[in-house]
């Protein structure tokens, strides 16, 4: 009865993307069926440190497994300059639902990156055209890597166009994938014309114009995670089949939060939640669809589902460091 400590490398190694995608899809389905508990994300604001803490607990029951856990994550914007630490750090506690025993404590930052990519892949699988071969990415930061790796699991991606103001980040991204894809740097307009587009930036003024978006492009809007953030022009959202992950979170802090709270968008403009599509209550892409958008804010059930995959593989592979956290001596 020992707790497994898993660092970022352990999480990365054991987050098998095909299984992760299936687990995230299971989580969306459980949430839609009512087989999940996910209290609202809670915040502790620390203005004296220019930061905050966020807690994200959840439990979900999939058809063949159940899982529980909580992610404790921060955003401290002064960390890189003042303390040589990341702005965002996360810790995931993964527990046995039957006994509450803490099975694992793992790096939540890598876990977040992996599950965010997997969530985009689930949405892409249901909403993108079947023969999507081109992918655009706006923002070449850490999230962009898992977007490409995950989405290429569900669509035969061949051509990739990436856009970012930081040329060094673009160069690193190209170096990573140049042997796997026909990949190049391009403008935002070029990325938006691809079959699939993922936006992973923290901007507060829209950078993807309506006229640039392809007639049948599927967009994963992943960057907005706080009030005021907004990547896509309002006209894109108004013209699209708009799918969200969670109503409360997206209207508060997702891609739609700015136009929704300004009255530009309303409930009638939201097609539905991704869970409704996963369980078959609503159709995914149909022959009549043009642009589709998935507004992803990131849910605690995704963290728990991802932790389940990581823990199961790490335990099988004897990865990580087992220790007697509770002092049970067993």
State residue 330's pLDDT score. 58
For the entire predicted model, the pTM comes to 0.95
What one-character DSSP code corresponds to residue 40? Answer: P
The Cα 36–Cα 308 span in angstroms is 15
> How far is Cα 181 from Cα 7, in angstroms, rounded to an integer?
29
Alpha carbon 152 to its chain's center: 15
Q: H or E element: which one contains 234? A: helix 234-239
The chain-wide mean pLDDT, for the chain, equals 96
The label of the residue with tokens 């303390």 reads: 83
pLDDT tens-digit profile of 156-212?
999 999 999 999 999 999 999 999 999 999 999 999 999 999 999 999 999 999 999
Strands 36-37 and 51-61: antiparallel
pLDDT tens digits for range 270-315 = 999 999 999 999 999 999 999 999 999 999 999 999 999 999 999 9
Structure confidence by residue, pLDDT tens digits, 56-103 = 999 999 999 999 999 999 999 999 999 999 999 999 999 999 999 999
Question: Is residue 41 flagged as an active site residue?
Answer: no
Contact status, residue 76 vs residue 50, Cβ threshold 8 Å: yes
Calpha distance 79→146 (Å, rounded)? 24
CB atoms within 10 A of CB 305: 30
Beta strand segments in the chain, E: 3-6, 36-37, 42-46, 51-61, 66-76, 88-95, 102-107, 134-138, 159-163, 182-185, 196-199, 218-221, 241-244, 272-273, 292-295, 321-323
Q: Which of 70, 104, 72 is nearest to 90 (CA)?
A: 72
Element (H, E) at 177: helix 167-177
Q: What span, in angstroms and rounded, lies between the C-alpha atoms of 245 and 212?
A: 25
Interatomic CA distance for residues 204 and 207, integer angstroms: 9
**pLDDT score recorded for residue 233:** 98
Q: Provide the token pair at 148.
A: 């490409």
List the catalytic residue out of 2, 63, 71, 281: 71
Residue 185: C-alpha distances to residues 117, 135, 164, 173, 202 (Å): 21, 12, 8, 9, 20
State percent of the chain over pLDDT 90: 96
Q: What is the structure's pLDDT at 41?
A: 87
């Amino acid at each position: 009865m020992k707790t497994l400590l898993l660092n970022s490398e352990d999480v990365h190694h054991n987050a098998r993307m095909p299984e992760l995608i299936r687990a995230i899809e299971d989580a969306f389905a459980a949430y839609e069926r009512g087989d999940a508990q996910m209290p609202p994300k809670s915040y502790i604001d620390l203005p004296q440190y220019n930061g905050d803490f966020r807690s994200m607990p959840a439990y979900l029951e999939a058809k063949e497994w159940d899982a529980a856990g909580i992610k404790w994550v921060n955003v401290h914007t002064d960390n890189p300059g003042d303390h040589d630490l990341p702005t965002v750090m996360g810790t995931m506690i993964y527990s046995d639902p039957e006994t509450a025993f803490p099975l694992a404590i793992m790096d939540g930052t890598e876990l977040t990156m992996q599950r965010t990519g997997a969530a985009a892949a689930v949405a892409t699988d249901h909403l993108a055209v079947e023969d999507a071969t081109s992918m655009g990415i706006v923002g070449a930061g850490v999230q962009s890597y898992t977007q490409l790796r995950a989405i290429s699991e569900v669509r035969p991606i061949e051509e990739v166009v990436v856009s970012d103001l930081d040329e060094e980040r673009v160069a690193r991204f190209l170096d990573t994938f140049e042997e796997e894809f026909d990949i190049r740097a391009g403008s935002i307009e070029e990325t938006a014309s691809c079959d699939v587009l993922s936006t992973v930036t923290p901007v507060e003024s829209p950078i993807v114009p309506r006229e640039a978006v392809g007639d049948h492009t599927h967009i994963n809007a992943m960057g907005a995670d706080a009030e005021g953030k907004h990547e896509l022009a309002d006209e894109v959202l108004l013209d699209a089949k708009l799918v969200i992950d969670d109503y409360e979170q997206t209207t508060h802090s997702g891609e739609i939060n700015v136009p929704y709270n300004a009255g530009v968008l309303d409930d009638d403009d939201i097609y539905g939640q991704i869970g409704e599509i996963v369980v078959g209550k609503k159709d995914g892409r149909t022959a009549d669809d043009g642009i589709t958008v998935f507004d992803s804010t990131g849910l605690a059930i995704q963290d728990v589902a991802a932790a389940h995959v990581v823990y199961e593989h790490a335990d099988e592979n004897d990865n990580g460091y087992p220790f007697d956290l509770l002092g049970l001596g067993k």
